[in-house]
Homo-oligomer: A and B are copies of this chain.
Amino acid sequence: MATVKLLTNEEAEKIPAVKEVFDEIRDLRKTDFINNFWRALGAADPALLKRTWEGLKAVMMTPGNIDPMTREMIYIAVSAANACSYCLHSHTAQARAKGMTEDTYAELLSIVGLAAQTNHMVTAMQVPVDPEFLA
């Protein structure tokens, strides 16, 4: 069930701007597999596909202080709070591919759960920010 169509490989081949992004995804990820998110974006708008892929490369694939597995775990945390089923499936798979063990996943779940619990209680009580926390 989707509100959009998903580009097949054959359709993607025929749209140069899509083919360029798909080729790069395959090249950088060293796999022929193109997941449905890119097929949906490509069907919607090749320019949106390209911008989104460029954003993902800059944020998730550029070397930095946060290691690739941890970036995926942060992604999972946000996706849980936003209730994005697709994102949870895809980024949990990617976090595991980047080394997340089941023990580490359980720790992640416990942090996400605790944060949500205290988020909701603090918000309910409208606790005022301590001056000590101001930047």
Q: List residues of chain A with CB under 8 Å of any chain B CB.
A: 1-6, 33, 35-37, 40-41, 43-45, 47-48, 51-52, 55-56, 58-60, 64-66, 70-71, 73-93, 101-130, 132-135
Contact = CB atoms under 8 A, between A and B. Distances in A.
Contacts of A64: 103-104, 107
A78 B75 contact: no
Of A6, A35, A44, A77, which is in contact with the most chain B CB atoms at under 10 Å from its CB? A77
Given A65-B101, A70-B70, 15 more contacts: A2-B125, A3-B89, A4-B126, A36-B127, A44-B109, A44-B125, A45-B102, A60-B114, A66-B104, A77-B77, A78-B78, A84-B123, A85-B129, A92-B133, A109-B121
Identical subunits present: 6
Contact of A128 (B2, B55, B117, B118): B2
A88 to B, nearest CB: 6
B120 A89 contact: no
B133 A65 contact: no
A80 B37 CA distance: 15
